[in-house]
């Protein structure tokens, strides 16, 4: 790819950034912006989520939230669910 020719008074500077620097910068982003960044990277690398799958997950998420909100299902604290997951992965 040929770069455009710039007038002599302009200087083109290329800056390299390491993966650690990217992670450090991303860690400073607000949560919603970081989530959008992750989503955009995943879409760029792997394509978008099929609309049928995305719709099904939205329905499932709404159903689960409704069950917890109504008291039909009791939520599990994050620490407990992470400990359970860790135990399963150790097997």
- Mean pLDDT per block of 10 residues along the chain (91 residues) reads 69 83 94 92 86 91 95 94 95 89
C-alpha span between 5 and 59 (Å, rounded): 53
Has residue 54 been placed in a domain? Answer: yes
Query: Domain tally for the chain?
Result: 2
Contact 29, 37 (CB under 8 A): yes
Has residue 5 been placed in a domain? Answer: no
Domain residue limits at 39: 13-48
Contact 36, 45 (CB under 8 A): no
∠7-9-14 over CA atoms, to 5°? 85
Q: Give the pLDDT confidence score for residue 10 in this predicted structure.
A: 73
What's the pTM value of the predicted model, to 2 decimals? 0.44
Q: Give the pLDDT confidence score for residue 47 in this predicted structure.
A: 86
Q: Give the pLDDT confidence score for residue 49 in this predicted structure.
A: 77
Has residue 4 been placed in a domain? Answer: no
Are residues 71 and 41 both part of a single domain? no
Per-residue burial over 31-68, b = 16 or more CB atoms within 10 Å of its CB, e = otherwise: eeeeeeeeeeeeeeeeeeeeeeeeeeeeeeeeeeeeee
């Amino acid at each position: 790819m040929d770069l455009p020719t710039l007038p002599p008074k302009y200087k083109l500077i290329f800056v390299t950034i390491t993966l650690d620097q990217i992670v450090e910068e991303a860690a400073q982003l607000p949560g919603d912006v970081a989530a959008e960044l992750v989503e955009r990277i995943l879409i760029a690398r792997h394509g978008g989520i099929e609309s049928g799958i995305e719709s099904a997950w939205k329905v499932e998420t709404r159903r689960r939230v409704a069950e917890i909100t109504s008291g039909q299902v009791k939520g599990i604290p994050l620490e407990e669910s992470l400990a359970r997951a860790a135990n399963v992965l150790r097997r």
